[in-house]
Amino acid sequence: MLKLYIGNKNYSSWSMRPWVLLRQLQIPFEEGRVRFDSFDADSSFKRSMADVNPVGKVPVLVDDGFAVWAPLAIAETLAEKYPGKGVWPTDAQARARARSICAEMHSGFSALRSHCPMNVEASLPEVGAKVWREQPAVQVDVQRIVSMWSGLLQQHAGPMLFGQFCSADAFFAPVGLRIRTYSLPVPQQVTDYIARVNALPGVKAWIDDALAECDFLDFEEPYRKSR
CA geometry: angle at 141 spanning 136 and 147, to 5°? 125
* Boundary (domain end) residue, out of 37, 52, 86: 86
Q: Is residue 220 situated within a structural domain?
A: no
Q: pLDDT value at position 158?
A: 85
Specify whether 119 is located in the same domain as 166.
yes
Q: Is the dihedral of CA 193, 196, 180, 202 positive or negative?
A: negative
Specify whether 201 is located in the same domain as 98.
yes
Q: Is residue 165 situated within a structural domain?
A: yes
Here the CATH number for the domain that contains residue 66 is 3.40.30.10
Here the CATH number for the domain that contains residue 163 is 1.20.1050.10
pLDDT tens by residue, 68-123? 999 999 999 999 999 999 999 999 999 999 999 999 999 999 999 999 999 999 99
Structure confidence at residue 225 as a pLDDT band (50, 70, 90): low
Cβ atoms within 10 Å, residue 59: 24
Asked if the model's pLDDT at residue 128 lies above 50, the reply is yes
Q: Is residue 217 situated within a structural domain?
A: no
Q: Is residue 224 situated within a structural domain?
A: no
- Whole-angstrom distance, CA of residue 57 vs CA of residue 7: 9
Specify whether 64 is located in the same domain as 139.
no
Specify whether 14 is located in the same domain as 36.
yes
Specify whether 34 is located in the same domain as 116.
no
Q: Is residue 134 situated within a structural domain?
A: yes
pLDDT tens by residue, 6-59? 999 999 999 999 999 999 999 999 999 999 999 998 999 999 999 999 999 999
Q: pLDDT value at position 227?
A: 44
Specify whether 101 is located in the same domain as 195.
yes
Which residue type sits at 24? Q
Report the b/e string of 151-176 with b at 16+ CB within 10 A: ebbeebebbbbbbebbbbbbbbbbbb
pLDDT tens by residue, 156-194? 998 999 999 999 999 999 999 999 999 999 999 999 999
Specify whether 79 is located in the same domain as 126.
no
Specify whether 79 is located in the same domain as 123.
no
Number of domains in the chain: 2
- Whole-angstrom distance, CA of residue 140 vs CA of residue 1: 41
Q: Give the closest residue to 109 by CA, choosing from 194, 13, 218, 222.
A: 13
Q: Domain range for residue 192?
A: 92-209
Asked if the model's pLDDT at residue 226 lies above 60, the reply is no
Specify whether 49 is located in the same domain as 70.
yes
